Structures are given as structure tokens and as C-alpha cells.
Homo-oligomer: A and B are copies of this chain.
Amino acid sequence: MTSRKTIGPTAAGDARERIVLAASKVFAAKGYGQASTREICKLAEVNVASIHYYFGDKASLYRELFTIPEQAVQLPTELDDPTTSLIDGLSAFYQHVMGFVLASESSSQLRLLFLREQVEPSGLLEPDRVGIIGLYHAQLVRFLSLHLELETADSGVHQLAFTLLGMAMVFYVERATVQRLTPGLIGSQHEVDETVIRLVSHASGAVNAERERRQEEPK
């Protein structure tokens, strides 16, 4: 049905790709429910029937966007290197995560889509699916367990990982509010760099607090 051996008539078989690109933009901007197939097709400059022709239906097109992610969800490798210091690891983490808060173009388009699916699940994906946040969280738990010298990760480490995640997530979820209340944090690359430095400082403070908390009540 959709063999790609032979390319289409007009110019190229890129209609399918144009649909995927347009869909990622519209879905990311409006969410699954509010996005209309007609708007996607108009943006992709294809006929409304093309979605059915290439993907079957709207839901399948949406799921298609979540099958690409292997490259999009690339975790910072430094955190899994045992020789990385706490500060360097946190620095790598926040540089990586905050790198997408700028440039709302195609690079971060998918990431926006993933975040939206995480915050407001469409119900179309596998329900037990591990989202981006889950991947970051697992990596942070590993990293923190190492630097807190724990054999097994307990609730405290898990919560600490959520703490570090939340510190960055607020800039995505509340991006508009941050920009309005405090312009100068995520407006330019230089500002983001400054913000990352402070994030690392706050994060290491939290990690140290957790370490001290454990020494007080080793239980």
C-alpha cells in the first residue's frame, strides 16, 4: 500500500515527510485533541485524504511521531561515566536539558510534543510507556546513588531526582510565566548559560542537603 520503492509523480515522495513535519508542529502547539487534520494538511500543503492514504487515521499519524524518538531522546552521556564529578554531572545535565528551552524550531519540536504527552497523555500510546521524564529520572537516580554512595536507590534518592528534574521542568511548563515575571532567565543563549550555572549551584546544594540528612538519621 505504502511502498516507497518507487517515488511519486509530481516532485518527490516527500509528501509523507511534510505531513509528519506539519503534524509535529500542530500537535505540539495545540495538543492531540485540538489539532485538526485539515490544519495539518493545509500546513503540509497536501490534500486532506493524504493522512488516510499514508497513515490510516489521525491517531496513527500521532503515534508515528513517537516512533522516531531514539535520536531525539539522547541522554547526556556524562552522567553514566563513573569518573564524572557531582558538579560536572549536574552541569552536563542542566546544559543538556535547558538546551532546548531556546530555539522553538524543529529540533525542540519533538521534545515539546513529548513533554505535552507527558503532561497531558492522549491515551493513544501504550499506557505503561516510559516517557522522557522517566528516562531522565532513571539516569539521575543512577548518578545520585553513585555520588551518595548507596547500594540500592531508596525513596530519598528517587525524590531527590524528582527535585532536580522539577527545577528544570518549571522552565518548560511555566515558560510563559517565567518570561513574564522574570525576563532575563531564558531569553538568550547567554542568559540560559547563567541560569544553568545557578541551577547547578542550587542542585548541588540540594544534593549536599540530602547527604547530610542521611548522616543525621542513618536509621
Contacts and interface: CB of A to CB of B under 8 A. Distances in A.
Nearest to A170: B166
A158 interface: yes
Given A159-B198, A198-B213, A210-B202, A170 B177 contact: no
A124 to B, nearest CB: 14
A96 to B, nearest CB: 17
Contacts of A198: 156, 159-160, 210, 213
Nearest to A202: B206
A159 B182 contact: yes
**Chain A binding surface SS class:** helix
A121 B171 CA distance: 16
A33 B31 CA distance: 10
A198 to B, nearest CB: 5
A202 B171 contact: no
Residue of A31, A194, A209 with highest tally of chain B CB at under 10 A: A209
A195 interface: yes
Given A205-B210, A209-B202, A171 B162 contact: yes
Contact of A207 (B166, B173, B180, B205): B205
B205 A118 contact: no
B174 A118 contact: yes
A3 interface: no
A98 B19 CA distance: 42
A138 to B, nearest CB: 8
A181 interface: yes
A195 B34 contact: no
Given A31-B33, A137-B181, 19 more contacts: A31-B31, A33-B34, A119-B173, A120-B120, A133-B174, A133-B177, A138-B181, A155-B194, A159-B182, A162-B182, A166-B166, A166-B168, A166-B169, A166-B171, A202-B206, A202-B210, A205-B209, A206-B206, A206-B209
12 contacts: A33-B33, A131-B177, A158-B182, A160-B202, A163-B170, A165-B170, A165-B174, A166-B166, A166-B169, A169-B173, A169-B174, A198-B213
